[in-house]
Amino acid sequence: MAYTRANQRRGSDVVCVMSPAGCSHLNVFKVDNWKQNLRVVYQCFVWSGSAETRKRKAKSCICHMCGAHLNRLHSCLHCIFFGCFTKKHIHEHARTKRHNLAVDLLYGGIYCFVCQDYIYDKDMEQIAKEEQRKAWKLNPSLKSPSQFLHKYSTWEPTKRELELLRHNPKRRKITANCTIGLRGLINLGNTCFMNCIVQALTHTPLLRDFFLSDRHKCEMQANSCLVCEMSQLFQEFYSGHRSPHIPFRLLHLVWTHARHLAGYEQQDAHEFLIAALDVLHRHCKGDDNGKKANNPNHCNCIIDQIFTGGLQSDVTCQACHGVSTTIDPFWDISLDLPGSSTPFWPLSPGSDGGVVNGESHPTGATTLTDCLRRFTRPEHLGSSAKIKCSGCHSYQESTKQLTMKRLPIVACFHLKRFEHSAKLRRKITTYVSFPLELDMTPFMASSKESRMNGQYQQPVDSLNNDNKYALFAVVNHQGTLESGHYTTFIRQHKDQWFKCDDAIITKASIKDVLDSEGYLLFYHKQFLEYE
């Protein structure tokens, strides 16, 4: 928005043409004490650093036409008028009064009603930044304003960085065939279980962006933080080096912080994933906060922002039909498979060779949708598991149903291929068809009304994209329970897949991925919501 539009009249129409010179309509505002006036607007109505200014903003900042507090309030820069942007009350004021400039009271952007766009002005931007910094320092709710400023202030290159950019004008371009980020990992002795998870994590988009932007601020002792080592690992992966990386420091830290994984025996990749996320979660919070944040649902670290979802459990009393609801955080969903000792729920209507949730599969094949449908079906707990109903005040039989209350950005599905019981230990090799794109809407708590006897009825509104996911990594296990090997398929670009087998990385086809047995399936949300 560093461009403006110069007005040209054709009859009664106004045609706006972009010009790099800057918005000419600012000249009307930039007279006399305009800088001081703008500072007052930012201090009182936009950033509001002190408690007094926040109270003043809460009382006075309402739309002068409809009385609403929300709907993207804007303040006129020419007079004292607040108006809704959504309902176009501020537009009506600008048209009748010919006051063409207004400031967004939430983000501080300047809007020109003649240009019909938010505009950029260097002097105004500088004032906005200065007042924003002052507000942060005045805010008493911040324990460490300087730390907050360091974390959230706008990045600007230093003189040293500008000098490096001038002396290194060559830029690295990302092409369709780019292999930046692809790097093999040396097996340090039955460590394929770790290597396959590292490949999946280093190709998780938001996790990659976090570590490559140097966002982690370590509060631990030197060489003991797993997050610091992961940060270094991302730097190694995206450095452009092609030789396999030796993750010996990562292995050492895993052994230190997850002692049940120590040793050179083959471990379970799923167990390593959960242990790694747990340690990363604790180390992201730092020493003191990490010990307090035992519940991932009350944490805002990067791990929980990406991987944590909310699982809703509804227990319904069979006598009074009262419902008791609890919501628990989860990092992954473990799904039962046909062929296990646990009876599997009947297959989906698409098992006759149709297409369900984008899964085209042969007759009789089990799908990921089948497994999810079984996971979220109502389950009768039986007379041996009666619970005390808060409505009946007595022990009654009940049904339990799990659904997704809140979806994570990255959904990890664990197909339970390793069965351990008192009588047998074995691997379940049942083929499960999984799609490239997955819609989780049928398994949401909000979709329960559309269920009949565990069968989901397709909603009329199929345009909701909030719950749609795309596959980006698949971990596979070859061999037996006692002797096996882990590999990973990862997506480099939309339709480019690679197989990571420790130090060896080879090109793979989509068919190779979808035909694989599948042990851990990683899906990423296609559309992200911003709070």
H/E element, 275: helix 269-292
What residues pair up with 11 in beta bridges, in sequence order? none
- Name the catalytic one among 23, 112, 115, 192: 192
Report the distance separating Cα 92 and Cα 98, nearest Å: 10
Per the rule left: phi > 0, alpha: psi between -120 and 50, beta: everything else, 223 is left
Contact call for residues 348 and 457 (beta carbons, < 8 A): no
Dihedral sign computed on CA atoms, order 55, 58, 59, 61: positive
- Does 392 qualify as catalytic in the annotation? no
The CB density around residue 275, as the number of other CB atoms within 10 Å, is 19
Report the distance separating Cα 521 and Cα 368, nearest Å: 10
The token pair that represents 14 in the structure block:
């106004």
For residue 466, the one-letter residue type is D
Q: Name the packing angle between helices 248-257 and 269-292 (round to 10°).
A: 60
Q: Could you say which DSSP state residue 348 is in?
A: P
Contact call for residues 63 and 71 (beta carbons, < 8 A): yes
Q: What SS3 state is found at 4?
A: strand
Dihedral sign computed on CA atoms, order 218, 221, 223, 226: negative
From the list 44, 47, 50, 91, the residue with the least C-alpha distance to 71 is 91
Report the distance separating Cα 425 and Cα 167, nearest Å: 62
Q: Name the packing angle between helices 248-257 and 226-237 (round to 10°).
A: 160
Contact call for residues 99 and 79 (beta carbons, < 8 A): yes
Query: Helix (H) and strand (E) counts for the chain?
Result: 14, 29
- Does 493 qualify as catalytic in the annotation? no
What residues pair up with 309 in beta bridges, in sequence order? 330
Backbone angles phi, psi at 483, to 5 degrees: -140, 110
Contact call for residues 401 and 314 (beta carbons, < 8 A): yes
Residues marked as catalytic: 192, 485
